[in-house]
Structures are given as C-alpha cells and as structure tokens.
C-alpha cells in the first residue's frame, strides 16, 4: 500500500524541486551540450540519453542488438601447420622470428576487427522533440538512481514545465512524459531520425523508423531493425504525418518508444507493435509505478552510506571539479558506486539478449570506438566484476550466455590453429561468436581470454552455490580446460608446462637478442595464472558434480607442472617467463597481477612474499593511466589492504574530463554525467570502480570474510548493507572512527563463517 501512495505524492511535487540526494542524484542546472553530459536511462535492452533541452530536445536511442556485421569464418586455413615452427622458434629464443611467423601464418583470415563483417555496435537513432521554448529559467535536470527516472523542470513563457523519462523493463518501452502547470501549454513536434541505413513512415498513429544494417558480406542479410514512436495527450490535439507526431495545446503528453531487431527475433516488427499496444493503454502513472517496483528489486539489494563532503550539494560536474581541486567528498564515491550498479541493472538485465559491451548499451555513433564490442583481455570481464559482490548476480547471466554461444566457434578455432579439442577465444568477440585471433600478432594471439571468462562462470557458482547452474556450465568449463590440457608444451629450461604462442596483454618487452620491441612469447604469467585457476575450478566442479574423474586426475597432475610465479630482478612479480625489460614500464595493463585480483592465488596472509612482489610491480607501473586502469589498480591495492591508496586512485578516476575526442593516451577520468572517460567513453571503469569500493569494504574467501580490509581514513564512518560473499552469504557492516560497530552475516551456514 505504501509504494503507490508515495509515488502518487511524488507525481504532484516535481522531483527536481527537492534537495538533491548526494548518494543517488546525478544532476545538472543546464541542458546537456553533448552526449557525455546527458542523462542515462536503460532497461537492459533499450537505452536512452536525455539531453533535456527545452526548445529542441534530443534523445539518443539505443537497442542492445543494433549490430552491423554477421557470422563469418575468420579462421586462417591450415594455421595449425605453422604452430610447431612457431613453438620451436620460441623455445630456441628466436622470438623475433616467431612473432614474424605469427603475423604471417597465425592471425585471423581477413581484416579482423577492422572489417565490415566483424561489425560494430551502433546507435539506433535520435528522438527529436521541437518546442518553442528558446527562453527558459529555473532549470534543473536530475537522474534519480533510486528510481531510475530522469526529471527535468524549468519555466518558460509563464508556464512551469516538467518532464519525466524512464525505460520500462516489464514493458520494454521508453517513456517520456511532458506536463505543464496550466492547461494548453504543450505544443511540439516529435519524430525519429537516423542518418544511415534507415527510412521513416507512418502506420496509423505510429511514427516508424526502420532499416537494415550492413552485414559486410554480399550473400548475407544484415540485421533488420524497427523503432516505433506513439504519443497520447490530455487536452489539446495530436496528429501524425510523415514529418512526425504533432502535439498542440495539450496539458500533458506521453511519448512511448520501443524498438527491436532481427538478430535474435524474426518477428521483431510484430513485437514492437505488440509492445506499444500493451503499454499505451496502461498510461504513464501505472507504467511509472510498475517500473520503479521492478527496478528497485535490484537496486535496493545494497545500500552504501559514506561521509558527506562539503561539495556534495552542487551539480555533479561541479562536484567532480571540487574533488579534483582537493575537496574530500567520500559521498561522491557512494554516488559513483550507486551509478555503476545502476548502469549494470540498466544494461544487463537477467533476460538481456547480450551482455554490456564496451559502452554498455549507450552509443551515439555509427562506428563506435573499438566497434563497441566485447574485449576479452580485461574490458568485458571488468564490466561484470561487481555483479556477484554487489548483489546483482542475476545480471551476469547475459555474459554467461555469451560465453556458451562462443563454444562452437571456439572449438573450430581450436582445431584450426592448434589441431586440438576443446575451445578457446582470443582478445575480441562480437555477437556472432568471433573467436579467431586478432589481426595483429602484437595483441591478437592471446589464447587465454576464453579461460578468463570461465572465471566468471565459476564465480557465479561460488557466490550462489547453485548446483544446477554449475551442472549447466560444466561442459563449457571442461571444454576450456580440455583445450589447454592438450596444447600446453614443455618449456626447455625447467620442463614447465606453458602456453605457446601468446602475449601479455597488450604489453611488450625488449628482445635481448635482436633489441626489437616484441610481444609474442611463451608462457606469460597471466596465462599461467588463468590456466591454474581454470584447472583448479574444473577439478572442484568435477568433484562437486561427482563426474569426470579421469579428466580431473589429468588436470590435477598437470597443475603440478605449470610454470610457477617468479620474482624478477627488481623484486617485481615477473610478467613473462623470462625477466624481460618492459618496453613501457608504466603500461596501462597489469595482466600479470591477475593472481591477486580478480583471482586470489596471491594474498597477504597466504603468500606474503608474492604479495610484496605485486606491490613492487604496482609501484613500478605508477598510478597515472587511463580510466579503467585506475579501477583495476584500486582493486589490486584493496587486496593489499591499502585503503588510502585506493581512495587516491578513485579520486584520480573522478578527474573531470570535457574532451570527448578519442585520445586514449591523454589520461582518463569521468565525464559530467559520470560516464568513464578513456577518453573516449568506455564503461568498464564505471563497473571496475564499483568493484573496487566493494573490495575496500568487504572481501571473502570460502569460509572467511574480511570486514573493512582497505578502509581509507577519509571514510571514517559509514555503513553498507547487502554485499555478497563467497558461499552465498550476505554481509552488512556499520563502522565509526574506522572501527566496526556492528556487522551481520546471513545465509544458510553463516554461523560457520570466520569473520575478521
């Protein structure tokens, strides 16, 4: 009873007129001038970026399956025939010749990620709403993370105007409601537009945008798409023609938009029509109530409170500037944490057809940076680091399904390049299941990326203890392990089992023989860490499920022979099998530190010497880098229990960025709307920052929970409820003056958990 009454009251009082909440409001006192200032909405499939201009509103629309390209065979024929020569050259120390041979005979067929067949995630198009409001005042635009609603309020021409927008997951529609405080104040024209591959038409009262994307292959159809816009009004009149939907003299107007593509749904056009037919009669108020109830089932699982800084009551862009100038605003970290969880809920619902890509589901381009694809050597994994710990485990299911869909093509790639069983994936993939190496030997021949994804499959079980789920993903885990079990070779000096060829993403070293800067190698540390974890998890899964004993014993034997951790000449954790000199000591990737985070093969208590080597590696790498690097290094420092260093890196992540161009080497930070800046926009740091904050507050191993392991001095008091730990337990903790006041661990068997 309470929720409908509350929402009805909210509808009477503009949300923008209340005091902004420093933990859940991302707000501005002006319309957005570009994409990186606009307000973010999404329901796991549909995305909308609200600019909020009173006179010429632009809403960038997205649909998660809006992909050019198509399924292709990118495996190089007979590549496996070159493998023995490559491996021999590496074993003999002729790395330069090996890299040249990889580029010649062991990359993908064709242009790879640069080709039209590989495809790109694209914008769906724009919703334009033109209104005669050139002069306006008292403007405020608020994205309320607690309700997943954007509200815009302003005055113009003697009227007060309010707009509310949200993306409904239950009905799969985007809803944009316009109202005034007096009758007859709304007059505008709304229409859909797209500059490429699209046409518009009218069907009854719906304005339709539709088309087909380029498949990149002459004999293959591209993805077809359709979007529908419908408007209903109270008072005034509404009409539709080829120029759009025209509203005249209305008191209220509600815009409904939905879209679909043919990627997974042949009846997508029928679906778009049926969705509007179901949503429109319900009306704005009922749809809003339903939307908030549905969204809060996810968002309210976790609540975080941190000390409120002096700059917490200014617009979000100004909060970022104040923090960059030295203001201590811990509540900005709480806002960033809530925003990141909001983004995951908004881009990756349990039933989303695809996982969050490099930009979640939000893009305004037709050729998105790096194709907006799924980079598998850190980025898509980082997208899902907070899923388990911050109680959004079910939001990880789209990633699980993507991995499972990759297995058939990954099996073909394994056979083509290694003449091996099982499956693998290299650093990039797309919705079509691309698993071939990349087009460049310097980055594209990393074979352990699919195995890295398997860590997420195992973690989902580790945090949920869902045995039925484990049984369903076991064939995928087993197939990844089978590939490495067959393809590991003995390195010549110690007889250790290693991968070959590979890279340490996306780093390079000086070859001691030729003095060339090279990337191709054998047995980089990251590979060995991932394979060790994969084999360990598959052995555990086999035991839990009571099957596959012979294969389990084989993996157990091979685990003993994997190349071990090594400490280099600087005291650092060695990145390569040999102690090569890094070509770029401050490189953005820290792939060889995988064993500390996201894995737990290295820890302060169990392996203190190796933990110290990790610390030295981090100090040598330095702090300055791009956005997602700040997030990963924050996670690593959290595992080293250095909260003040974590907070330093998070504040660097919050550095305000206004440059929206693609300048990836110019330092990262955060745009005005809290999107991560590479630059350009790349969503992984938003998610990685959430994971880091969770790690600072609670860490876990099977049967053990650490409370406040990396609490910064600035976060002297606070509380968090609903964080998840391994074993399926939920943790609440409250602290003051840096000390735990009270905590609670709940879940079946929680009384057996050791809490420190």
DSSP string, 199-267: EEEEETTEEEEEEE---SSTTS---EEEEEEEEEEESSEEEEETTEEEEEEESEEEEEEEEEESSS-TT
Lowest mean pLDDT among 27-41, 551-565, 635-649, 665-679: 665-679
Identify any residues that bridge with 729 across adjacent strands, giving them in sequence order. 725
User: Residue 17 — pLDDT band, cuts 50, 70, 90?
Assistant: low
CA distance 238 to 260: 25
Delineate the domains of the chain, giving CATH numbers in brackets. Answer: 2-67+124-300 (2.70.98.50)
As given in the structure block, the two tokens for residue 462 are: 């580790």
For the stretch 681-694, pLDDT in tens is 999 999 999 999 99
**681 to 46, 364, 395, 671, 727: CA distances (angstroms):** 19, 11, 22, 8, 35
Q: What distances in angstroms separate CA 79 from CA 76, 100, 133, 412, 502, one per listed residue?
A: 6, 14, 63, 12, 15
Q: What is the dihedral of CA 623, 626, 630, 635, to 10 degrees?
A: -120
Q: What is the pLDDT of residue 715?
A: 97
- Please give the Cα distance from 543 to 396 (Å, whole number): 24
Q: What pLDDT does residue 14 have?
A: 52
Residue-by-residue DSSP string for 407-422: HHHHHHHHHHHH--SS
242 φ, ψ (degrees, to nearest 5): -65, -10
Split at pLDDT 50, 70, 90, the class of 658 is confident
Q: Name the residue among 476, 603, 611, 481 with its Cα closest to residue 533.
A: 481
Q: What is the pLDDT of residue 163?
A: 97
pLDDT at 4 over 50: no
Structure tokens at 615: 């610390």
Residue 679 — very low, low, confident or very high, per pLDDT cuts 50/70/90?
confident
Mean pLDDT value of segment 698-723: 96
**d(C-alpha 66, C-alpha 45), whole Å:** 10
Convert the pLDDT of each residue in 287-332 to its tens digit.
999 999 999 999 999 999 999 998 999 999 999 999 999 998 999 9
Provide, for the chain, the percentages of residues in helix, strand and coil under a 3-state DSSP scheme, each rounded to the nearest 5: 35, 25, 40
Q: Which H or E element spans position 577? A: none
Summarize the confidence of residues 191-216 as an average pLDDT: 97
Interior angle at CA 468, CA 464 and CA 474, nearest 5: 95
Residue that the structure tokens 């307000």 belong to? 39
pLDDT by residue (tens digit) across 569-587?
Answer: 999 999 999 999 999 999 9
Angle between helices 467-487 and 525-545 (to 10 degrees): 130
CB–CB of 349/47 below 8 Å? no
Percent of the chain clearing pLDDT 90 (strictly above): 93
Sign of CA dihedral 193, 159, 40, 34: positive
Q: Which of 743, 46, 714 has the alpha carbon at shortest distance from 329?
A: 714
Please state the length of the chain: 756
Residue 597: pLDDT above 50? yes
Which residues lie across from 733 on neighbouring strands? 720, 743
Q: SS3 sequence, 174-217? A: EEEEEEECCCCCEEEEEEEECCCCEEEEEECCEEEEEEECCCCC
Q: 51 with 57: CB under 8 angstroms?
A: yes
> Nearest CA to 186 among 245, 239, 249, 255?
249
Mean pLDDT of 149-156: 97
Residues 638 and 693: beta-carbon distance below 8 Å = no
Q: What is the DSSP letter of 593?
A: G
Between the CA of residue 541 and those of 457, 469, 533, what are the distances in Å?
11, 11, 12
Tokens 């969050």 correspond to 356
Q: What is the pLDDT of residue 134?
A: 78
CB-CB contact of 451 with 377 (8 Å): no
Tokens 């869902």 locate to 466
Within 8 A by CB and 6+ apart from 51, the residues are 31, 32, 37, 38, 57, 58, 59, 60
Q: For residue 10, is pLDDT > 60?
A: no
What whole-number distance in Å separates Cα of residue 665 and Cα of residue 627?
11
679: preceding bond cis by omega (within 30 degrees)? yes
Q: Which residues pair with residue 378 across a beta bridge?
A: none
Mean pLDDT of 628-656: 96
Cβ atoms 432, 119 nearer than 8 A: yes
Nearest to 23 by CA among 298, 303, 252: 303
Q: How much is the average pLDDT of 512-532?
A: 97
- Rounded to a whole number of angstroms, the distance between the first and last alpha carbons of the chain is 41
665 — pLDDT class (breaks 50, 70, 90): low
| Average pLDDT score, the chain | 95
**Per-residue pLDDT averaged across 400-404, rounded?**
98
Distance (Å, rounded) from C-alpha 71 to C-alpha 432? 5
pLDDT for the residue 420: 98
Distance CA 377, CA 232 (A): 47
- Secondary structure of 309-348 in the HEC alphabet? CCCCCCCHHHHHHHHHCCCCCHHHHHHHHHHHHHHHHHHC
Report phi then psi at 285, rounded to 5.
Answer: -60, -45
How many CA atoms lie within 13 Å of 266's alpha carbon, on the beta-carbon side?
0
Question: Average pLDDT for residues 350-379, to the nearest whole number?
Answer: 97
* For residue 703, pLDDT beyond 90: no
> Is 659 within 8 Å of 598 (Cβ atoms)?
no
Distance CA 45, CA 497 (A): 43
Average pLDDT (588-611) is 97
Please tell me the distance from the alpha carbon of residue 41 to that of residue 150, in angstroms, as a whole number: 8
Q: Read off the pLDDT of each residue in 228-250 and give the average, rounded to a whole number.
A: 97
Residue 518's CB is within 10 A of a number of other CB atoms, namely 22
Give the β-pairing of 754-755 and 704-707.
parallel
Query: So what's the pLDDT on residue 2?
Result: 26
Q: Scanning the structure block, which residue is given the tokens 């306006």?
A: 136
The span from the CA of 46 to the CA of 127, in Å, is: 13
Contact 39, 32 (CB under 8 A): yes
How sure is the predictor about 15, in pLDDT bands with cuts at 50, 70 and 90? low
For residue 562, what pLDDT band results from cuts at 50, 70 and 90? very high
SS3 161: strand
Residue with tokens 């299911």: 397
Express each pLDDT in 114-133 by its tens digit: 999 999 999 999 999 998 87
pLDDT of 70 reads: 98
So what's the pLDDT on residue 8? 31
């Amino acid at each position: 009873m309470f929720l409908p009454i509350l929402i009805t009251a909210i509808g009477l009082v503009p949300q923008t007129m209340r005091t902004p909440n420093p933990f859940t409001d991302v707000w501005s006192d002006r319309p957005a001038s570009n994409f990186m200032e606009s307000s973010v909405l999404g329901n796991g499939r549909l995305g909308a970026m609200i600019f909020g201009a009173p006179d010429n509103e632009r809403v960038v629309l997205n649909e998660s399956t809006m992909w050019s390209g198509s399924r292709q065979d990118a495996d190089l024929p007979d590549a496996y025939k070159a493998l023995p020569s490559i491996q021999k050259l590496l074993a003999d120390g002729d790395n330069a010749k090996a890299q040249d041979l990889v580029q010649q005979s062991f990359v993908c067929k064709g242009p790879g990620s640069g080709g039209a067949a590989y495809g790109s995630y694209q914008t769906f198009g724009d919703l334009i709403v033109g209104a005669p409001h050139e002069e306006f005042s008292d403007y405020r635009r608020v994205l309320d993370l607690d309700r997943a609603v954007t509200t815009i309020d302003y005055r113009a021409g003697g009227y007060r105007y309010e707009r509310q927008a949200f993306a409904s997951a239950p009905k799969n529609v985007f809803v944009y409601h316009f109202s005034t405080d007096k009758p007859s104040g709304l007059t505008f024209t709304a229409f859909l537009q797209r500059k490429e591959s699209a046409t518009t038409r009218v069907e009854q009262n719906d304005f339709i945008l539709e088309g087909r994307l380029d498949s990149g292959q002459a004999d293959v159809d591209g993805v077809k798409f359709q979007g529908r816009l419908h408007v209903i009004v109270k008072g005034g009149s509404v009409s539709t023609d080829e120029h759009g939907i025209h509203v005249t003299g209305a008191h209220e107007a509600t815009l409904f938009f939905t879209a679909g593509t043919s990627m997974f749904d042949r009846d997508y056009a029928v679906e778009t029509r049926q969705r509007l037919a179901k949503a429109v009669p319900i009306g704005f108020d009922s749809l809003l109530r339903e939307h908030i109830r549905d969204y809060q089932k996810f968002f309210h699982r976790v609540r975080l409170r941190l000390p409120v800084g002096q700059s917490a009551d200014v617009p979000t862009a100004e909060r970022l500037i104040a923090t960059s100038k030295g203001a201590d605003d811990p509540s900005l970290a709480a806002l960033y944490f809530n925003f990141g969880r909001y983004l995951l809920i908004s881009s990756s619902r349990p039933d989303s057809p695809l996982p969050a890509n490099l930009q979640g589901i939000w893009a305004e381009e037709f050729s998105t940076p790096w194709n907006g694809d799924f980079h598998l050597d850190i980025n898509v994994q980082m997208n899902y680091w907070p899923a388990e710990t911050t109680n959004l485990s079910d939001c990880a299911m789209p990633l699980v399904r993507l991995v499972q869909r990759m297995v058939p093509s990954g099996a073909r790639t394994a056979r083509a390049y290694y003449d091996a069983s099982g499956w693998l994936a290299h650093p990039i993939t797309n919705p079509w299941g691309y698993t071939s190496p990349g087009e460049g030997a310097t980055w594209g021949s990393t074979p352990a990326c699919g195995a890295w994804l398997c860590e997420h499959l195992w973690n989902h079980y580790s945090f949920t203890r869902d045995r039925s789920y484990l049984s369903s993903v076991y064939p995928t885990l087993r197939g990844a392990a089978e590939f490495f079990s067959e393809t590991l070779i003995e390195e010549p000096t110690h007889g250790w089992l290693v991968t070959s060829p590979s890279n340490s993403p996306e780093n390079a070293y000086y070859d001691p023989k030729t003095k060339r800067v090279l990337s191709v190698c054998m047995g980089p540390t990251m590979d060995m860490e991932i394979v060790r974890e994969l084999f360990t998890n598959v052995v555990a899964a086999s035991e839990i499920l009571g099957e596959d004993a012979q294969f389990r014993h084989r993996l157990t034997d091979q685990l003993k022979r994997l190349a071990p951790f090594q400490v280099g000449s600087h005291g650092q954790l060695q990145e390569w099998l040999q102690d090569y000199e890094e070509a770029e000591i401050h490189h953005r990737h820290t792939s060889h530190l995988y064993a500390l985070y996201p894995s737990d093969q290295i820890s302060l208590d169990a392996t203190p010497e190796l933990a110290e080597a990790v610390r030295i590696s981090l100090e040598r790498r330095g702090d300055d880098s791009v956005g997602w690097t700040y997030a990963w290094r924050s996670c690593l420092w959290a595992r080293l229990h250095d909260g003040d260093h974590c907070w330093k890196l998070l504040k660097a992540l919050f550095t305000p960025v206004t440059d929206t161009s693609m300048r990836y080497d110019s330092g990262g930070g955060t745009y005005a709307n809290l999107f991560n800046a590479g630059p350009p926009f790349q969503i992984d740091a938003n998610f990685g920052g959430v994971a880091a904050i969770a790690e600072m507050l609670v860490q876990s191993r099977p049967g053990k929970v650490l409370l406040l392991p990396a609490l910064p001095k600035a976060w002297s008091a606070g509380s968090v409820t609903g964080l998840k730990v391994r074993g399926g337990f939920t943790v609440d903790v409250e602290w003051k003056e840096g000390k735990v006041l009270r905590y609670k661990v709940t879940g079946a068997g929680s009384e057996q958990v050791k809490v420190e």
